[in-house]
């Protein structure tokens, strides 16, 4: 599994004999292993903040998640959002996107997979049974990429099998990766959506380090769609630069031309946003970054966003392109205010 370029594996002693741990180690051989008590206490040294993050991405932690295996996701006051549940199956990921909020979220930046799958599945089932009368949405990929390590853990196989028994619920697997082998070997269910975050290649080159290219992501999405899965398209975060519109327009034309839009469940739009703590990390890692060079304002949830007229105009221009190419696909906004939603009501559906 050379694609991971791992130099070190941390394993919590409590899960050293887990069947999932053994499965991972059977694939990742000849890598230095350190047994630990608690993944939260991992410390990776480095001369600079950037050095610490880069060295952390060369590690993998195998751990057991204690408590909060399934959490209800709620938007902060003043931000529009539906009640959803996210599955805590890991922290961080192998990619190194400059804008990632996880850089200031956890105690360390080491990609971590939780291998107590039975407990995770049991907690999901408890929520499914408690909310049996409702059409609820679960997603994997909130605090890590949903599929980045799936060839090691095989979690997607277990999740899809479980959700196939509960057709009223929906599972969304959120990813940027091309690790789709397990999906292609499973019978798809109609309530499973595999959603990709797509960015123009210029954004990937400048800000999404170690992540697959636009072409690689699109090819993976096409293959998964051909296997019978529903697809989601996430344009989030939308990053504005001098020539941003031309790049996003060209990307959307390519996506809509090559994907079967009948099984694309949504296109979601979200502008780049950040907490002040994240901007500090971004500047420390790259003092020359142009990511923060725009007119940002603090919003009701404490995050800084592009000035509202700027992001409304951007959403409208992107939405107009989408509608010219496809009149039927659902367009939604991610983590936005009611005022912005109202400004977009003629395009959203």
pLDDT score at 58: 96
Mean pLDDT, all residues of the chain:
94
Reported confidence tier of residue 81, pLDDT bands at 50, 70, 90: low
3-state secondary structure of 336: strand
Residue 240's closest CA among 101, 99, 81? 99
Q: Which of 51-60, 317-326, 339-348 shows the lowest mean pLDDT across its residues?
A: 339-348
* pLDDT of amino acid 131: 86
Whole-number pLDDT of residue 67: 87
Residue 1 confidence (pLDDT): 40
pLDDT tens digit sequence for 212-224: 999 999 999 999 9
Determine which helix (DSSP H) or strand (DSSP E) holds 51, and give its type and residue range.
helix 49-56
Is the per-residue pLDDT at 107 higher than 70? yes
User: Which pLDDT band holds residue 2 (cuts at 50, 70, 90)?
Assistant: very low
- What digits encode the pLDDT tens for the residues 262-296? 999 999 999 999 999 999 999 999 999 999 988 89
What is the spatial distance between Cα 192 and Cα 59, in angstroms, rounded to a whole number?
A: 30
Whether 266 contacts 233, CB under 8 Å: yes
pLDDT of amino acid 135: 87
pTM assigned to the model: 0.94
Average pLDDT of 1-26?
A: 90
Averaged pLDDT, 252-264? 97
- Over range 193-216, report the average pLDDT: 97
Within 13 A of 288's CA, how many CA atoms are on the CB side? Answer: 1
Q: How confident is the model at residue 79 (pLDDT cuts 50, 70, 90)?
A: low
Which CATH number is 2-343 given? 3.80.30.30
CB contact at 8 A, 12 and 36:
yes
Structural domain spans, the chain = 2-343
238-242 contacts, C-beta under 8 A, 24 or more apart: 238/269, 238/270, 238/271, 238/272, 238/311, 238/314, 238/315, 238/318, 239/99, 239/199, 239/203, 239/207, 239/272, 239/291, 240/271, 240/272, 240/294, 240/306, 240/310, 240/314, 241/202, 241/290
């Amino acid at each position: 599994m050379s694609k991971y370029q791992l130099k070190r594996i941390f394993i919590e002693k409590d899960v050293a004999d887990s069947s999932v741990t053994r499965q991972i180690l059977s694939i990742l051989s000849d890598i230095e292993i350190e047994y630990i008590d608690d993944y939260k206490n991992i410390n990776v040294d480095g001369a600079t903040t950037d050095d610490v993050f880069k060295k952390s991405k060369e590690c993998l932690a195998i751990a057991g998640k204690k408590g909060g295996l399934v959490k209800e996701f709620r938007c902060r006051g003043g931000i529009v959002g539906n009640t959803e549940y996210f599955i805590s199956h890991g922290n961080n990921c192998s990619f190194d996107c400059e804008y990632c909020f996880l850089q200031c979220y956890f105690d360390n930046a080491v990609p971590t997979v939780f291998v107590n799958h039975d407990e995770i599945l049991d907690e999901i089932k408890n929520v499914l049974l408690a909310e049996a009368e409702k059409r609820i949405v679960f997603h994997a990929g909130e605090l890590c990429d949903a599929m980045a390590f799936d060839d090691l853990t095989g979690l997607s196989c277990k999740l899809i099998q479980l959700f196939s028994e509960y057709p009223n619920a929906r599972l969304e697997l959120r990813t940027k990766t091309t690790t789709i082998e397990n999906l292609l070997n499973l019978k798809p269910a109609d309530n499973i959506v595999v959603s990709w975050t797509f960015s123009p290649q210029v954004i990937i080159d400048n800000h999404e380090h170690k992540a697959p290219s636009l072409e690689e992501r699109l090819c993976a999405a096409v293959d998964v769609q051909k296997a019978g899965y529903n697809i989601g398209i996430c344009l989030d975060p939308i990053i504005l630069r001098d020539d941003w519109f031309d790049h996003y327009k060209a990307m959307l034309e390519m996506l809509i031309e090559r994907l079967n839009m009948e099984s694309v469940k949504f296109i979601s739009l979200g502008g780049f946003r950040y907490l002040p703590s994240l901007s500090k990390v971004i500047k420390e890692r790259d003092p020359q970054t142009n990511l923060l060079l725009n007119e940002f304002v603090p919003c009701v949830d404490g995050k800084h966003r592009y000035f509202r007229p700027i992001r409304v105009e951007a959403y409208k221009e992107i939405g107009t392109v989408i509608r010219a190419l496809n009149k039927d696909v659902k367009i939604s906004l991610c983590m936005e205010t009611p005022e912005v939603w109202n400004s977009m009501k003629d395009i959203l559906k």
